[in-house]
Amino acid sequence: MTEIEESDRFECKVVNIINNLKWKGVMVKEIKSGGNVYFARTDPKRDLKPGDTLYLGVRELPSQMEEMQAEVTLYDKNDEKIDWTFI
């Protein structure tokens, strides 16, 4: 099994944008696994739309945190951090 490094990036596509009061919620689908991740607090000034390509970074959390296994970060093509969430 290949170990995931924090510097690894996984291509994903924006599948849905949800306009909240202060933020935009962004649902992305990881290309290889088909898994979805929702990011609730992206900057509304970003011009994201369904079909856009973004990238995921994953950091494994300590095993003591049973209900959360990893921190997932959303990046643009320039490796600029957009948002993060726990899964």
4 pLDDT tier (thresholds 50, 70, 90):
low
Q: What is the CATH number of the domain that holds 24?
A: 2.40.50
Residue 5 has pLDDT above 90, yes or no: no
List the domain range (segments joined by +) for residue 27.
10-86
Helix (H) / strand (E) containing 12: strand 10-19
Q: Is residue 1 a part of any domain in this protein?
A: no
User: How open is the CA angle 7-36-83, to the nearest 5 degrees?
Assistant: 50
Task: State which amino acid sits at residue 44.
Answer: P
Measured distance CA(12)–CA(33) in Å, rounded: 10
Q: What's residue 84's pLDDT?
A: 95
Q: What's residue 30's pLDDT?
A: 96
Q: Is residue 5 a part of any domain in this protein?
A: no
3 pLDDT tier (thresholds 50, 70, 90):
low
Tokens 């933020």: give the residue.
Answer: 23
Give this prediction's pTM.
0.86
Paired sense of beta strands 81-86 and 24-30, if any: unpaired
Q: What's residue 42's pLDDT?
A: 96
